[in-house]
Structure 1
Amino acid sequence: MGRIIFDTAATLNGWIADEHDSLSWLFAVPGGEVPDPELLPSTAAVMVEGRTTYEWVLRESDILAHPEKWQEFHGARPTFVFTHQELPVPEGADIRFVSGSVEEALPAIRAAAGDDDIWVVGGGDLAGQFFDAGVLDELAVSIAPVTLTGGAPLFPRRVESDRLRLESVTAIGQFARLRYSVAATVRSS
Structure 2
Amino acid sequence: MSHEPENSTAATTAEQQTSPSPRSISFTVTAVVRAAVAAVLVVALVVVSWLLVMARSDIADRDAAAAAERRAEQVATDYAVGSATVDFSDINAWVARLKANTSPELAAKFEATAPELERILVPLQWKSTAGPIATTVESESGGVYKVLVFVDVNSTNSQDPAGARTTVTYAVTVDANNGWHVTDVGSTGSALPVK
TM-score, scaled to structure 2: 0.21
Q: Rg: which structure is higher?
A: 2
TM-score, scaled to structure 1: 0.22
Could you say which structure has the higher helix fraction? 2
